[in-house]
Amino acid sequence: MGHTNNIKIAVVGTGVIGAGWATHFLAQGFEVIATDPAPGAEARLREWVDAYWPTVEALGLVDGASRSKLSFTADVAQAARDAVFIQESCPERLDVKHALIAAIESSASSDAIIASSSSGLSISDIQAGARHPERIVLGHPFNPPHLIPLVEVGGGKLTSVENVTKAMAFYASTGKKAIRINKEVKGHIANRLQVALWQEAISLVQRGVASVEDIDTAISYGPGLRWALLGPFINLHASGGPGGITHLLQHLGASQREWARDLGKYPETDDYIHQIAQGVDAELEGRDFPGMLRQRDELLVQLIAAKATKSQLP
The band of 5, judged by pLDDT with boundaries at 50, 70 and 90, is low
Give the per-residue pLDDT at 163: 98
The band of 1, judged by pLDDT with boundaries at 50, 70 and 90, is very low
Give the per-residue pLDDT at 253: 85
Contact 10, 87 (CB under 8 A): yes
140 and 15 inside one domain: yes
208 and 256 inside one domain: yes
Domain span holding position 125: 8-181
269 and 232 inside one domain: yes
Q: Domain holding 170: CATH number?
A: 3.40.50.720
Residue 145 is given by DSSP the state: T
Query: What is the count of structural domains for the chain?
Result: 2
| Residue 3, domain member (yes or no) | no
292 and 262 inside one domain: yes
Query: How would you class 166 by CB atoms within 10 Å of its CB: exposed for 0-12, middle for 13-18, buried for 19 or more?
Result: middle
255 and 125 inside one domain: no
The whole-model pTM stands at 0.94
**Residue 308 Cα distances to 22, 177, 229, 233, 300, angstroms:** 23, 11, 10, 20, 12
Domain final residue, candidates 139, 160, 181:
181
What percent of the chain stands above pLDDT 70? 98
134 and 206 inside one domain: no
Which three-class secondary structure state does DSSP give residue 88?
strand
| Residue 234, domain member (yes or no) | yes
Give the per-residue pLDDT at 220: 97
What's the mean pLDDT when you consider all of the chain?
95
- 145 has a pLDDT exceeding 90: yes
Domain final residue, candidates 125, 149, 181:
181
Rounded CA separation 192/186 (Å) = 8
The band of 6, judged by pLDDT with boundaries at 50, 70 and 90, is confident
Give the per-residue pLDDT at 32: 98
Segment among 116-125, 183-192, 248-257 with least mean pLDDT: 248-257
* Mean pLDDT, rounded, for 69-95: 96
Supply angle C-alpha 186, 188, 193, rounded to 5: 100
213 and 244 inside one domain: yes
**Residue 1 Cα distances to 12, 59, 65, 85, angstroms:** 26, 15, 10, 20
Q: Domain holding 209: CATH number?
A: 1.10.1040.10
- 219 has a pLDDT exceeding 80: yes
- 4 has a pLDDT exceeding 60: no
Contact 69, 30 (CB under 8 A): yes
Which three-class secondary structure state does DSSP give residue 11?
strand
- 2 has a pLDDT exceeding 60: no
